[in-house]
């Protein structure tokens, strides 16, 4: 009985978590009998950047979806600041994790309200500060109605890069200790690309960040690179360590990145 009670107990994380994230022997399958993640263990210390790299279908997005309990693991444990995430209230868990995905979620409403979505009680001034840190202020300022400009439901009256900057501003405003970022692969113009890069850096500062990384600069600067292949962490270390090791990462780097430095 007591174990049952423990399983259904719904814990809450405090408003500010340190952001230590630990996966221990995590196994997961979308469909019973077809394991996708076999035995994933990782430790992210507060503030660290963890880059996930590896071929398509390796399990990178899956790992990230488990952290927000979009899916439940089969065995093993995932903890945030020592709390087993299965014991946490899902809403509470998700409110502590910022997510910046390739396809920015924007709704029909003003630019201001779209940023405010990160923290509903934020003041107009806080919204502008977040936009400035996200390198979004200058383009917002140039819109006909500035922060009061209305976005269409799919954000189609902004460029893709601008949409990303807005979601970064939103995440900065939300101020989560743990971040999930899926770097865009699609190309935006060089100037916007630079804006996005510096904004992402700003956002990741002091937060535990899991990045599905496509940019070499992000990967290079990561505290840990996890190379995922067929649902397993096959290599881990810094860029220099992994290049030295001369394994899978080395080959990946040679084939994908050596021309883009
Ligand atoms: N919702 C799902 N249901 C069933 N299988 C899935 C589901 N999502 C992903 N998979 C499978 O799980 C495996 C890992 O997929 P995942 O999306 O995590 O890969 P990825 O490393 O993120 O790849 P990519 O680089 O292409 O984004 C793949 O074999 C994929 O087909
Ligand atoms: Mg993916």
Which range of residues forms the domain containing residue 165? Answer: 46-64+92-256
Nearest CA to ligand 1 atom 7: 30
Q: Is residue 56 part of a domain?
A: yes
**What string of H, E and C letters represents the secondary structure of the chain?**
CHHHHHHHCCECCCCCCCCCEEEEEEEEEEECCEEEEEEEEEEECCCCEEEEECCCCCCHHHHHHHHCCCCCCCEEEEEECCEEHHHECHHHHHHCEEEECCCCCCCCEEHHHHHHCCCCCCCHHHHHHHHHHCCCHHHHHHCCCHHHCEECCCCCCCCHHHHHHHHHHHHHHHCCCEEEEECCCCCCCHHHHHHHHHHHHHHHCCCEEEEECCCHHHHHHCCEEEEEECCEEEEEECHHHHHHHCCHHHHHHHHHCCCCC
- The rounded Å distance from CA 60 to ligand 1 centre is 8
Q: How many structural domains does the chain have? A: 1
Tell me which ligand sits closest to the C-alpha of residue 226.
1
Is the shortest distance between the CB of 56 and ligand 1 below 6 Å?
A: yes
d(CA 187, CA 40): 32
Mean pLDDT score, 76-91: 96
- β-bridge mates for residue 29, sequence order: 35
The residue among 255, 248, 254 whose CA lies nearest residue 228 is 248
Is the shortest distance between the CB of 66 and ligand 1 below 6 Å?
A: no
Mean pLDDT score, 98-108: 84
Q: Is residue 251 part of a domain?
A: yes
Q: Which two tokens stand for residue 87?
A: 């014991």
Residue 24 has pLDDT above 90, yes or no: yes
> Do residues 21 and 178 touch, judged by C-beta distance below 8 A?
yes
- The rounded Å distance from CA 227 to ligand 1 centre is 15
Pocket perturbation via mutation, ligand 1, pick of 37, 60, 180 by most ligand atoms within 8 A of CB? 60
d(CA 12, CA 90): 9
pLDDT band at 187 (very low <50, low <70, confident <90, very high): low
Q: What is the pLDDT of residues 130-168, one digit of tens each?
A: 999 999 999 999 999 999 999 987 767 888 889 989 999
Is the shortest distance between the CB of 230 and ligand 1 below 6 Å?
A: no
Q: Is residue 120 part of a domain?
A: yes
Mean pLDDT score, 192-201: 89
pLDDT value of position 1: 42
CATH number at residue 186: 3.40.50.300
Q: Which two tokens stand for residue 65?
A: 């979806």
Residue 259 has pLDDT above 60, yes or no: no
Residue 261 has pLDDT above 50, yes or no: no
pLDDT value of position 254: 85
pLDDT band at 260 (very low <50, low <70, confident <90, very high): very low
Is the shortest distance between the CB of 137 and ligand 1 below 6 Å?
A: no
Residue 2 has pLDDT above 60, yes or no: no
- Mean pLDDT of the residues in the chain: 90
Q: What is the pLDDT of residues 50-66, one digit of tens each?
A: 999 999 999 999 999 99
> Other CB atoms closer than 10 Å to residue 174's CB: what's the count?
20
Residue 83 burial (C-beta neighbours within 10 Å; 0-12, 13-18, 19+): middle
Q: Is residue 36 part of a domain?
A: no
Q: Is residue 246 part of a domain?
A: yes
- The rounded Å distance from CA 66 to ligand 2 centre is 13
Q: Is residue 126 part of a domain?
A: yes
Q: Is residue 24 part of a domain?
A: no
Nearest atom in ligand 1 to 63's CA: 18
Nearest atom in ligand 1 to 31's CA: 4
Is the shortest distance between the CB of 64 and ligand 1 below 6 Å?
A: no
Q: Is residue 38 part of a domain?
A: no
Nearest atom in ligand 1 to 58's CA: 21
Is the shortest distance between the CB of 185 and ligand 1 below 6 Å?
A: no
d(CA 192, CA 105): 19
């Amino acid at each position: 009985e007591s174990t049952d009670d423990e399983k259904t107990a719904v814990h809450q994380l405090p408003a500010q978590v340190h952001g230590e994230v630990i996966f221990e022997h995590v196994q997961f399958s979308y469909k019973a009998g077809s394991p996708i993640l076999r035995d994933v263990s990782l430790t992210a210390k507060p503030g660290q950047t963890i880059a996930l790299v590896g071929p398509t279908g390796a399990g990178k997005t899956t790992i990230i979806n488990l952290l927000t309990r979009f899916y439940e693991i089969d065995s093993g444990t995932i903890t945030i600041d020592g709390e087993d995430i299965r014991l946490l209230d899902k809403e509470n868990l998700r409110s502590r994790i910022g997510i910046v995905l390739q396809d920015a979620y924007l709704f029909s409403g003003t630019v201001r309200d779209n940023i405010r979505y990160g923290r509903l009680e934020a003041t107009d001034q806080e919204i502008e500060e977040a936009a400035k840190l996200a390198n979004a202020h200058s383009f917002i300022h140039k819109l006909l109605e500035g922060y009061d400009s209305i976005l269409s439901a799919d954000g189609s009256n902004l460029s893709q890069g601008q949409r990303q900057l807005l979601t970064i501003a939103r995440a900065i405003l939300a101020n989560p200790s743990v971040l999930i970022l899926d770097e865009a692969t699609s190309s935006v113009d060089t100037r916007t690309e630079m804006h996005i890069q510096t904004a992402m850096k700003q956002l990741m500062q002091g937060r535990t960040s899991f990045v599905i990384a496509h940019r070499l600069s992000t990967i290079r600067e990561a505290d840990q690179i996890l190379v995922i292949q067929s649902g397993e962490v096959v290599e881990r270390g810094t860029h220099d360590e992994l290049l030295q090791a001369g394994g899978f990462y080395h080959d990946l780097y040679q084939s994908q990145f050596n021309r883009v430095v």
